[in-house]
C-alpha cells in the first residue's frame, strides 16, 4: 500500500510537471500566434463632423458641416503571399478602409494597405514581398528590399501586452508614434488596457487648391495641410487584440499667414467603433481566452502542483524506505506519458493545419473605394 501511494504521487507529479513544460515550450509558441486567415469587418461612426467633400461629376470640393460619417474597415489575410507558411513566424494582412458621409454616400477618403507581421509581437517585419499602401487609385507606394514601409504596430498589440509605451503606426504621418499605457478598465466585463496619445498639429504636404475652397478670390492658393489626432485604444492584454478605437481627428489647410485654428478644416470630428463592432471584438476574444489560459496560466498551476506531489512522494520514499525502483519508474512513465499526450493534443489543435496554403490562387478582392 505504501509503495502504491509513493508511485501514485511521483507519477502524477511527474505528469503535471512534464505537461506544464510541454505547454510552455511547445504549445505556447505553436498556438499563441496571429492567424493567417483573418477576415473581419468593423464599423466606425462619427456625428457632427466637418469635412471636405468631393461632389459627384467632378464638381469643386467644398467644406460641409454636421456630417454623419461611416468608416468601414475590412482586414483579411493574404494567403497567397510567399511569406505565409504553415507554422511560420510571419503572416500577411491586408486592410481596406473607406470613409463615407451618410446622406449622399460620397467617399471622403479611402486606403488599402498590405503588411507582413510577426505572428507573436504584431510588429511589422521586412523584407515583405508586395508590401504597400495606397490612398489614391494608381498612386501605390511599395516597399523596396529590406525597407520597413509601415514600421511598428499596425493592427494588434503583442500577446501578453505590457504596461508600457508601444510604437503605433500612424497612417497619416506614415511613421510610428509612441502610444502610452494610461490605465486599466472594464469593457463589457473584460479587463482591458487603455492606451492613448495626442499627436499635435503637424505640417504635412504643401500644395495648391482652388481659392474657393479656402475662401480666397484667387483661382489657386498654396496651402500647407496640418494634421493632429487624439487616439484611445482599448486592448485585451492576453491576446493583444484591439477591442475599441476612438480617434478625434483635426486636419486643416493653412496659408502662409494663418496660424493654428485659422485655416480651412479638411476634417474635424471624432470617429469611434460602433457598439456592435466592439461587442463582436469582445465576443471573439472571449472565445480565444480559454485556449490561451491553457497555455499561459495552466503551466504554472501544473508546475506548482506537480512539484508538491513529487516532493511529498520523495519525502515518503525516504521515510518508508521502500518503493525506490517503482518510484523511479513512475517518474519516467509519468513524464513520458504527459509529454506524448500534451504534444499530440497540441498538434491536433494547430489552426494552421486546416489551411490549404499550397493551392491558394489569390486573396479575395475588396472594393476599396479609391478615387
Whether the pLDDT of residue 192 is over 70: the answer is yes
Are residues 242 and 157 in contact, defined by beta-carbon separation less than 8 angstroms? yes
341, containing H or E segment: helix 324-348
Look at residue 58 in the predicted model and tell me its pLDDT.
67
- C-alpha atoms less than 13 angstroms from C-alpha of 192 in its C-beta half-sphere: 24
- What pLDDT does residue 288 have? 87
Cβ(169)–Cβ(150) under 8 Å?
Answer: yes
d(CA 10, CA 17): 11
Taking only the tens place, the pLDDT of each residue in 323-358 is: 566 666 766 676 677 667 777 776 767 777 777 776
CA distance 213 to 210: 6
The pLDDT, as a whole number, for residue 47 is 96
What is residue 350's predicted lDDT score, i.e. its pLDDT? Answer: 74
Percent of the chain exceeding pLDDT 70 equals: 87
CA 208 to chain centre: 37
**pLDDT (tens digit per residue) in 153-175:** 999 999 999 999 999 999 999 99
Burial class (CB in 10 A: 0-12, 13-18, 19+), 186: exposed
Measured in whole angstroms, the distance separating CA 369 from the mean position of its chain's CA atoms is 23
| Residue 364 confidence class, pLDDT cut points 50, 70, 90 | very low
Q: What confidence score (pLDDT) does residue 361 get? A: 58
Residue 219: predicted pLDDT: 86
Average pLDDT, whole number, for the chain?
86
CA-based nearest residue to 196, from 187, 206, 211, 184: 184
| DSSP strands (E only) in the chain | 39-53, 62-77, 90-101, 107-118, 132-134, 140-142, 166-170, 175-187, 190-210, 220-235, 242-254, 264-273
Strand ordering across the sheet containing 175-187: 140-142, 132-134, 107-118, 90-101, 62-77, 39-53, 264-273, 242-254, 220-235, 190-210, 175-187, 166-170
Three cell numbers written together for 11: 507519477
C-alpha cell of 255? 496659408
Question: Is the dihedral angle over the CA atoms 25, 124, 37, 160 positive or is it negative?
Answer: positive
pLDDT at 2 over 70: no
CA angle centred on 289, ends 287 and 292, rounded to 5°: 125
Question: Alpha-carbon distance 286 to 222, whole Å?
Answer: 51
Mean pLDDT of the region 6-32: 75
Query: What pLDDT is recorded for position 274?
Result: 97
Q: What is the largest CA-CA distance in the chain?
A: 103
Instruction: State yes or no: pLDDT of 180 exceeds 60.
Output: yes
Question: For residue 118, what is the DSSP state?
Answer: E
Amino acid at each position: 500500500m505504501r509503495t502504491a501511494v509513493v508511485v501514485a504521487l511521483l507519477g502524477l507529479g511527474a505528469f503535471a510537471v512534464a505537461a506544464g513544460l510541454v505547454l510552455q515550450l511547445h504549445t505556447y509558441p505553436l498556438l499563441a500566434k496571429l492567424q493567417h486567415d483573418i477576415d473581419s469587418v468593423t464599423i466606425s461612426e462619427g456625428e457632427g463632423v466637418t469635412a471636405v467633400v468631393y461632389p459627384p461629376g467632378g464638381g469643386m470640393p467644398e467644406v460641409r458641416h454636421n456630417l454623419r460619417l461611416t468608416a468601414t474597415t475590412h482586414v483579411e489575410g493574404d494567403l497567397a503571399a510567399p511569406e505565409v507558411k504553415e507554422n511560420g513566424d510571419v503572416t500577411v494582412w491586408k486592410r481596406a478602409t473607406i470613409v463615407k458621409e451618410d446622406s449622399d454616400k460620397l467617399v471622403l477618403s479611402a486606403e488599402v494597405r498590405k503588411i507582413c507581421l510577426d505572428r507573436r509581437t504584431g510588429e511589422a517585419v521586412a523584407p515583405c514581398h508586395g508590401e504597400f499602401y495606397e490612398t489614391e487609385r494608381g498612386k501605390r507606394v511599395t516597399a523596396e528590399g529590406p525597407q520597413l514601409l509601415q514600421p511598428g504596430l499596425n493592427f494588434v498589440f503583442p500577446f501578453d501586452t505590457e504596461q508600457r509605451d508601444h510604437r503605433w503606426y500612424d497612417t497619416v504621418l506614415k511613421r510610428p508614434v509612441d502610444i502610452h499605457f494610461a490605465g486599466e478598465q472594464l469593457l463589457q466585463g473584460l479587463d482591458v488596457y487603455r492606451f492613448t496619445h495626442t499627436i499635435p498639429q503637424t505640417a504635412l504636404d504643401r500644395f495648391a487648391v482652388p481659392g474657393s475652397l479656402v475662401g480666397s478670390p484667387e483661382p489657386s492658393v498654396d496651402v500647407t495641410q496640418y494634421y493632429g489626432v487624439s487616439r484611445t485604444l482599448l486592448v485585451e492584454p492576453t491576446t493583444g487584440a484591439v477591442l475599441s478605437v476612438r480617434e478625434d481627428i483635426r486636419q486643416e489647410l493653412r496659408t502662409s499667414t494663418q496660424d493654428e485654428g485659422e485655416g480651412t478644416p479638411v476634417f474635424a470630428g471624432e470617429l469611434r467603433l460602433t457598439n456592435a463592432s466592439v461587442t463582436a471584438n469582445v465576443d471573439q476574444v472571449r472565445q480565444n481566452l480559454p485556449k490561451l489560459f491553457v497555455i499561459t496560466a495552466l503551466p504554472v498551476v501544473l508546475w506548482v502542483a506537480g512539484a508538491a506531489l513529487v516532493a511529498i512522494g520523495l519525502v515518503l520514499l525516504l521515510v518508508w524506505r521502500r518503493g525506490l525502483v517503482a518510484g523511479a519508474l513512475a517518474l519516467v512513465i509519468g513524464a513520458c506519458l504527459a509529454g506524448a499526450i500534451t504534444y499530440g493534443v497540441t498538434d491536433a489543435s494547430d489552426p494552421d493545419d486546416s489551411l490549404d496554403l499550397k493551392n491558394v490562387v489569390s486573396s479575395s478582392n475588396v472594393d476599396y473605394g479609391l478615387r
